[in-house]
Each structure stands twice: as structure tokens, then as C-alpha cells.
Structure 1
Amino acid sequence: MTPQFTLPGSALRGLGARPFGVYVHVPFCATRCGYCDFNTYTAGELGSAASPASWLEGLRRELDLAAGLLGTPPAADTVFVGGGTPSLLGVDGLAAVLDAVRQAFGLADGAEVTTESNPESTSPEFFAGIRAAGYTRVSLGMQSAAPHVLRVLDRVHTPGRPVTAAVEARAAGFEHVNLDLIYGTPGERDEDLRASLAAVLEAGVDHVSAYALIVEDGTALARRVRRGELPAPDDDVLAARYELLDATLSEAGLHWYEVSNWAASPGARCAHNLGYWRGGDWWGAGPGAHSHVGGVRWWNVKHPARYSAQLAEGGLPVAGHEALTDADRHLERVMLELRLAEGLPLAALDTDGAREARAAADDGLLDRAALGAGRAVLTDRGRLLADAVVRRLAA
């Protein structure tokens, strides 16, 4: 897009009445994990083309331009710093990121402020520093406690470090700490997942995210699978692992509130992600970040050097945009809200969708009692087939 990117008045109407979040993308990683297709770069890949300093300068400019574009922007209800590896910025870098958000938008009272962190680039001093800077929540990439699984994923942290890091974060005053897991990696056994879950529970965190391994095109993992070095994840195995995860976490008092997320209490749920799932607004800042305001979606240029250069010239680094049609918005609402434990209001469905919802309940995919109360809520079996249920209800 050109530097003259603007939003129509229709998108800006109601701004502030809906949840408003800020996502900041940190594109830097120390090494590249074989399964990852995120917009990330190692120092060797970037060379002298970009640096954390030039990225931060660009970020400040983007946020200032964003505030101007939105007119009177609402204070951010949530901030989420993701990547990449935000913890590579250190305490000072992450404090500067949050200061930039505060200056451009301000923070709502009680705002949730999350940063992702790689366990290997954290310490007790790191957690104390970012807590003092205003961060309220930490998400740590664990993936697995099994060394051979971590090797397949090209993860470089030691198996025990995520648990130690979680304990350090809690000791530094973080009430809300998440651990991320990946299940279904080639070579993973049931006992490996059980060991990972035992480690998660030992850490005492109040939130767990768990995702089935997806072999993304263009990744090193995809090339290994294509060459026959590793088997592709098996759907039946993934389903069984999900059931094991859910049963273990539920028994320990962490209950699902979104298909891939479990929390110990409503207050432990990730408010930023709930904003996505409930159709809120957010500004995504940083290379490759995506944004959404009032039914308009746009995305930034991917390379950090081009990102900084476009901002230095005075324009927003927007690569493309789209105005969602009514059909688009309906599909997204069904797709996202149905993944939540609270489900989707039946009133959001058309006549065909409501008929399909009743049929899905007959098939054991939607909860019959919830349907009688006017909501489409996935059953345990329905969660395993959530994408198929979405297609039925939104067709």
C-alpha cells in the first residue's frame, strides 16, 4: 500500500466501544526452529540490514502514526508483545516497547500486558525488570519436556528450563504465567506428553496453551517430512493426545475456555486473545503484523529493513488491506466464537445454520442443553472436529 493508507469512517464508528488491543511483533530470533513459519529473522539472515534499534525506532513511528490515523484512539485494554523472541530485547528493550504504546495510546485501567519469552533468554532479574516496567503476564515457550522431541522441533532450550523460568516469573510477582505446548511431534510418545504435562503442573502456572503440530509449507520440518526422514503427524494420534491433554489439565483444575487454551480461573484467561476471538479491534505493529478495526483488515510489509525504511519516509508500512464483506464477517464470527467454551449465540446463525446446529447436536458435536438455551457450544467430541462444525454452521 501507499503511505496514504486511511480507514473509512464506517470502520472508525464504534471505536472504543469494542475491546481494543495492541499487538507488537518482534521479528528477531537467536536461531530458527524447524517447524516455525512466523515472520522471524536471525542476526545472520538480517546482517546489517536491520537491528533491534532500527526496529524500535520504526515501531515508535508506526504507533504515533496509528494514533493519528485513529483520531482519538482508545486506551489499550490489552497489549501483547510476540514474535519472534521478545525476550531477546532484554528488560530495557521491552520497557521501551511498552513506553511507546503508552505514549501513543495510553493503557486502560487494569490493562493486561503480555510478553512472550524464550526460557533460555530469561532470568530472575529479567522477570523482576519487566514486572517493574508494567508487564502483567508472561507466556513461555516450552513445547515439550522430552529432549528428543525438542531436537525434532529444533528447540534449543534445555528441557527443565521452562519450569524454572515459570517459577522465577511467579516469584517476581507475575500472577499470570502461561506455558505453550506442542503435541503430535514425530517421535513423541504418550509418556512424553504425560511428562510434559507433569512438568507444566509442577510449574504452578495458571494458563496452558497446547497446539497440534502443523507441518507448514516452506519450513525445514516440511522438507524433512517430504524427504521421508520424519512421518507426518497422524490425525488419530493428535486426537488421542488432545484428549489426554484435556483430561489431565481439567483434573488439575485448568479448564478449557478456547479449543487450544486452558485456564485456572476466568481471570487467568488471555484477554488479548479473547479480543481476537470476540471480534474486537487491534492495531498490529511491527514487520508482518496484522490489524483489524471495524471490519477492515490490513497487514504490514514483512522485512524489518523495508518496514523501517517505509516509516522513515513518513508512511505507514502497510502492504495490503481488505474490507470484510458481511459474508466474511459472518464466517469469521462463527469460526472464532464457536471455538470458545461459551460458544456462539444461535441468533447469529441464519435459518440454514440453525438447522445444521440442530443436526450437529444430534451427531453429538454440539451440546444439546446449551442449544436449548440458545447457544451453540462444542461437546468434547465436537472440539476434535471443530473445523468441520464451523463449515456446517457457516455454509
Structure 2
Amino acid sequence: MPSTPPDGEDAPRDGSLPPESVAEARGQHLSAYVHVPFCRTRCGYCDFNTYTAGELGTAASTPAYVDALLAEVGLAAQVLPPMQPLRTIFFGGGTPTMLDPAQLASILDALRERFGFADDIEVTTEANPETVGPAELEALRAAGFTRISIGMQSAVPRVLDLLDRQHRPGRELDVARWAGEAGFERVSLDLIHGTPTETLEEWRTSVQTVIDAGVRHVSAYALTVEPGTQLARRVRRGELPMPDEDDQATKYELADEMLTAAGLEAYEISNWAASPDDWCRHNIAYWQGGNWWGFGPGAHSHIAGTRFWNLRHPATWAGRLGAGESPVQAREVLDAETRRIERVLLELRIAPGLDADVLTESERSRVPDLVARGLVVDGDTLTLTRRGRLLADAVVRDLLD
């Protein structure tokens, strides 16, 4: 969740949704995102809505956070129409595993009680390697978590230091192994490429390490320098160079080549998996414009064309809920054309592709040029080539211009 929320209109204090969104959402699928804003330390590149205990003071109480979160679960159950049981839940942050397994289990129990769970529900938690061990992983699996996304970022000590990461290299591989032994059905390792001064060989080492770990899902994101972060200040002072786009493109291509050769296919611009069964179904729901409720400070939600986002600070978010009111800061109701354009933006990113019927006649006439430039594969659906994935923003711009 970036630091600056979008503009929007005032949202009702009772949390009610527009009648047209309520009517459309009735009987549809639903996902849940749970934001845990706590971190032991702040990574220099991070622009998410996260806080250390020193930054929050008394607002860092995890029992109080869980109580407020359970109140928001109750509010959502009152606001939403009858919908299908939850299909996916994703605990992100921050560091969700800053909460102990019993606290995370209590949140899952509340979601199950209020919304029901699909038989094949996917329940993911992010985890920093230093925050979990075998006992915690066994408890999380017993609580109902099925998937874990481990924040590895790099296998190279020097690069981890540049990113202000706290775990020792190799710890993330232990966590991946322990998660498998605990019975997690899906384990992902997450990387960052393009850290200032990272060499191509260092990046190759990180990619080979995740391949050797034998996980069936890998995420690899290009580092961005966000305003207001410690990394941005270091770049501005000349202590570190700005990440080079050509260097990042080279590293992306290397990762794609290595992961593909190892049997992991790209199913989204920054995500690879051994098979469609290993895709992150929660993120697919985002990219396909599904319905989800985001719980927690700063969390974003989307229900049938209405997008809304919560107050960002944990204290003000919890205070609103304590007063029996919605913690939503603002919302926007998307018109039909905006929703169509968002389909183009999001569905082009993923392997299932974009249904060509979503495009206007004028937009469809631009597809042959994109094919000739080696950016898209045409057919009943449009999908990006590897080069197209590197230039995804330009493809969308050229398509919609």
C-alpha cells in the first residue's frame, strides 16, 4: 500500500455501499486482505503503511489491534450482501508474523464465522524469515493457513545489507523447508532485483538459490526508489546510484530464462509458478477485478465497482471502529468505461490474458502493430511476450491511446 492514497469522495460513517454495488455483488465470490502494519525494523526501500514499535508507542499493542480488526470484520459482515464463502485470504504488511499464531488464528476464526470458507480456500501469510520457526509454522498450518510467501529479497549478504534486511542468508531456505515439513501446500520465495550496485552475478546467485530450494512459486520485483524512504535519501545524497532501468531489464530477462528452464513459467509480470495450481489465487482475483475487503489500517477494498480505503494510522483507524463507525477514509465509484480500462491494465498482466472483446474497434486495430513489434500474442485473448512484459506500461499506453 503506497504512502499516498488516491483522491476520493466522502464515505458514509456507517460503511454502507452504493445500492448498485450491493445488488451486483450479491451472490458473487469474495476475498479478504488483512493488513498487519507492524515491523521489527523499517527497511530502507519500503513505502508501505508500516510502523515499528518505537514509531507507534501504545498503538503498537497487538491485542488491541486484533480487537479492532475483529470489529471491522463484524462491520463488513453487516455491510456486504450475501455472497459466496471466502475463496482466498491474504495476510500482508508489514509483517503478519509479528502477531503470534494464536492471534492470527483468532482472525481466521472470525472470518470463517462471518463469511464461511470455500472447501478449497487459499489462506496466505507473508513472513519475514527471522519471525518464524518450526513451531510457529506448525501452529499456523494447524490454524488453517495453506500458503506462505517468504520475504527473501536476496541470497547475497551485501545486497541484504543495502536493503536493510535483518535475516541471515540461508534462513529463508530453512523457513521454506520447515513450512513444507509443517504441511503448507504452497511455499513462495520473494526476490528484489536492481538494488543499487548489485551485480549481475549476485542476482544470478539469488535466482539460482531459489531454484535450488525447490519451491514451486517465485516472485521477483524490480526495486523502485519511493519518495520519502531512507533509500531515496541515500540516492539523493549521492551515497547510492539510482537503479538503472536497463540493468533491471537485463536481470528480469535472466530471471525469466533461469526460472523457465527450471520449470517455473511466468503467469504474471513478476510471478512464476510450476503449474496453474501453484498460482497465487488471491492475486489473480485482484488482476481479474474480483471483490475483496481489505481489513486493517490503510487497507484498500473493491466491491462491485466501488473502491474504498481505510484511514492509514493504526490509532485513528482503531479509534473510528471503537466509536462504532466505519474506518473508511474515502471511496470512488467506478463508471463502466473506467472498469473496462482497468480490465485492460490488469488482465494483460496475467497468463490467462485479456479477452479481445473487451477492446474497442479502434483499440483492436492497433493489435497487429504490437504483434509485429513482438510485444503481444494475438488471438481470442491477448497475452504479453517476455519483451511485452518488460514494456507492459508502454503496451497499454499504445493500445489505449
TM-score (normalised: structure 1): 0.97
- Cα distance between partner residues in 2 of 1:346 and 1:13: 27
Aligned to 1:171: 181
Structure 2 residue 397 is matched with structure 1 residue 387: no
Contact 2:28 2:83 (8 Å CA) reproduced: no
Task: Return the letter of the residue paired with 1:390.
Answer: V
How many percent identity over aligned positions?
53
The structural deviation recorded for 1:100 is 1.8
Superposition deviation, residue 72 in structure 1: 2.1
1:4 deviates by 2.5
Superposed CA deviations along residues 82-123 of structure 1, whole A, max 9, x for unmatched, are 000011112112111211211221111110000011110110
Q: Which moved more, 1:286-295 or 1:6-15?
A: 6-15
Residue matched to 2:384: 378
Q: How far apart, CA to CA, are the structure 2 residues paired with 1:209 and 1:197?
A: 10
Verify the 8 A CA contact 2:29 2:85 in the aligned structure 1: no
Q: Which residue of 1 aligns with 2:107?
A: 97
Unaligned runs of 5+ in 2: 1-10
Query: Are 1:345 and 2:351 counterparts?
Result: no
Alignment match, 2:162: 152
| Contact 2:85 2:115 survives alignment (8 Å) | yes
1:306-339 deviation per Cα after TM superposition (whole angstroms, max 9, x unaligned): 1111001001100000001223212211110000
Whole-angstrom distance in 2 between the partners of 1:159 and 1:110: 34
Give the Cα separation in 2 of the matches to 1:95 and 1:74: 21
Separation in 2, partners of 1:311, 1:140: 31
Residue by residue over 1:8-41, the C-alpha shift from the partner in whole angstroms, topping out at 9 and shown as x without a partner, is 2211234265431000000000000000000000
The equivalent residue for 2:65 is 55
Aligned residue number for residue 196 of structure 1: 206
AA aligned opposite 1:361: V
How far did residue 3 of structure 1 move?
A: 1.7
Unmatched segments (≥5 aa) in structure 1: none
Q: Which residue of 1 aligns with 2:133?
A: 123
1:149, 1:185 within 8 Å by CA — same for their partners in 2? Answer: yes
Task: Output aligned runs, 1:213-224, within 5 Å.
Answer: 213-224=223-234
Give the Cα–Cα distance (whole angstroms) in 1 for the partners of residues 146 and 24 of structure 2: 27
Q: Match for residue 248 of structure 1? A: 258
2:194 aligns with one of 177, 184, 187: 184
Q: Secondary structure of 1:101's match?
A: helix
Counterpart-to-counterpart distance in 2, 1:266 and 1:103: 29
Distance 1:203 1:165 in 2: 11
User: Which whole-Å CA distance do the structure 1 matches of 2:344 and 2:27 have between them?
Assistant: 21
Q: Distance in 1 between matches of 2:255 and 2:216?
A: 15
Change (3 A) 1:73 1:342: closer
Q: Give the number of aligned pairs.
A: 391
What's the CA shift for 1:231? 0.6
Q: In the alignment, residue 90 of structure 1 is paired with which amino acid?
A: D
Structure 1 position 277 matched with structure 2 position 277: no
Deviation at 1:2, TM superposition (A): 4.5
> In the alignment, which of 18, 28, 31 is matched to residue 21 of structure 1?
31
Q: Over aligned residue pairs, what C-alpha RMSD do you find?
A: 1.2
Tell me the equivalent position of 2:21. 11
3-state SS of paired residue (1:49): helix
Contact 1:79 1:112 in 2 (8 A): yes
Distance 1:18 1:392, change over 3 A: farther
Pick from 336, 340, 344: which aligns with 1:326?
A: 336
Task: Name the counterpart of 1:30.
Answer: 40
* Aligned-partner SS, 2:243: coil
Aligned equivalent of 2:368: 358
Residue aligning to 2:296: 286
Cα offset for 1:221? Answer: 0.4
Q: Which amino acid aligns with 1:325?
A: D
Equivalent residues of 1:164, 1:203 under 8 A apart = no
* CA–CA separation in structure 2 for the residues paired with 1:97 and 1:199: 34
The answer for the alignment partner of 1:257 in structure 2 is 267
SS at match of 2:224: coil
Q: Which digits, 9 at most, give the CA deviation of each residue in 1:52-73, with x for residues without a partner?
A: 1111101101011101101324
